[in-house]
Chains A and B, each alone.
Chain A
Amino acid sequence: MARIELRGVAHAYGPSPTSDEDWAVLPLELIWQDGGAYALLGPSGCGKTTLLNIISGLLRPTRGQVLINGVDVTAAPPQERNIAQVFQFPVIYDTMTVAENLAFPLRNRGVSRAETQARVEEVAGLLELTADLRRRASGLSADMRQRISLGRGLVRKDVAAILLDEPLTVIDPHVKWLLRRKLKQVHESLKVTLVYVTHDQVEALTLADQVVVMNQGRVVQAGTPQELFERPADTFVGYFIGSPGMNLLPCSVEEGAAVVEGQRVPLPPEVCARAKADGGELRLGIRPEFVRRVSEGTASSVRVEVAQVEELGRYRIATARLGAQVVKVRLPEEERVAAGESCWLEFPARWTTLYAGGRAVS
Chain B
Amino acid sequence: MEKPTNNRAWLLVLPVLLVVAFSAVIPLMTVVNYSVQDILGPEQHVFVGTEWFRKVLRDPELHGALRRQLGFSLAVLAIEIPLGIALALVLPMRGRAASVSLVVLALPLLIPWNVVGTIWQIFARGDIGLLGVAINGLGLKYNYTADALDAWLTVLAMDVWHWTPLVALLCYAGLRAIPEPFYQAARIDGASAWATFRYIQLPRLRGVLTIAVLLRFMDSFMIYTEPFVLTGGGPGNATTFLSQYLTRLAVGQFDLGPAAAFSLIYFLVVLLFSYVFYTAMQHAGRSEAR
Residues in A with CB closer than 8 Å to B203 are: 93-95
Contacts across chains A and B counted by CB atoms under 8 Å: 64
Looking at chain B's contact residues, is the secondary structure mostly helix, strand, loop, or mixed?
A: helix
Residues in A with CB closer than 8 Å to B215 are: none
Q: Chain A interface: which of B64-72, B77-85, B191-199, B240-248? A: B191-199
A112 vs B191: C-alpha distance in the bound complex, in angstroms? Answer: 16
- The answer to whether B181 has its CB under 8 Å from any CB of chain A is yes
Q: Which of A83, A93, A96 contacts B188 (CB 8 A)?
A: A83
Report the interface size for chain A: residues with CB under 8 A from the other chain: 29
- The answer to whether A280 has its CB under 8 Å from any CB of chain B is no
- The answer to whether A104 has its CB under 8 Å from any CB of chain B is yes
Known A-B contacts A85-B184, A87-B185, A88-B181; A96 and B190 likewise in contact (beta carbons under 8 Å): no
- A91/B192 in contact, CB under 8 A: no
A137 vs B290: C-alpha distance in the bound complex, in angstroms? Answer: 10
- A97/B189 in contact, CB under 8 A: no
Looking at the assembled complex, report how far the CB atom of A81 sits from the nearest CB atom of chain B, in whole angstroms. Answer: 9
Known A-B contacts A108-B195, A149-B185; A95 and B190 likewise in contact (beta carbons under 8 Å): no
- B184/A58 in contact, CB under 8 A: yes
Q: Which of B179, B190, B195, B290 contacts A89 (CB 8 A)?
A: B179
- B191/A108 in contact, CB under 8 A: yes
A137 vs B179: C-alpha distance in the bound complex, in angstroms? Answer: 18
Residues in B with CB closer than 8 Å to A27 are: none
- A105/B285 in contact, CB under 8 A: no
Looking at the assembled complex, report how far the CB atom of A41 sits from the nearest CB atom of chain B, in whole angstroms. Answer: 21
- B195/A136 in contact, CB under 8 A: no
- The answer to whether A77 has its CB under 8 Å from any CB of chain B is yes
- The answer to whether B182 has its CB under 8 Å from any CB of chain A is yes
Residues in A with CB closer than 8 Å to B55 are: none
- A136/B188 in contact, CB under 8 A: no
- The answer to whether B31 has its CB under 8 Å from any CB of chain A is no
Residues in A with CB closer than 8 Å to B16 are: none
- Of chain A, the residue at the smallest CB distance from B198 is A95
- B189/A96 in contact, CB under 8 A: no
Residues in A with CB closer than 8 Å to B288 are: 95
- A89/B199 in contact, CB under 8 A: no
Residues in B with CB closer than 8 Å to A97 are: 289-290
- Of chain B, the residue at the smallest CB distance from A89 is B181
- The answer to whether A152 has its CB under 8 Å from any CB of chain B is yes
Looking at the assembled complex, report how far the CB atom of B225 sits from the nearest CB atom of chain A, in whole angstroms. Answer: 39
Known A-B contacts A87-B181, A89-B179; A95 and B187 likewise in contact (beta carbons under 8 Å): no
Q: Which of A79, A87, A136 contacts B289 (CB 8 A)?
A: A136
Known A-B contacts A87-B181, A137-B289; A104 and B189 likewise in contact (beta carbons under 8 Å): yes
B binding-site residues for A, Cβ under 8 Å = 179, 181-182, 184-185, 187-192, 195, 199-200, 203, 285, 288-290
A binding-site residues for B, Cβ under 8 Å = 53, 56-58, 77-79, 83-85, 87-89, 91, 93-97, 100, 104-105, 108-109, 136-137, 149, 152-153
A-B contact pairs, 13 of them (CB 8 A): A58-B184, A58-B188, A79-B188, A93-B199, A93-B200, A93-B203, A95-B203, A95-B285, A95-B289, A96-B289, A108-B190, A108-B191, A152-B189
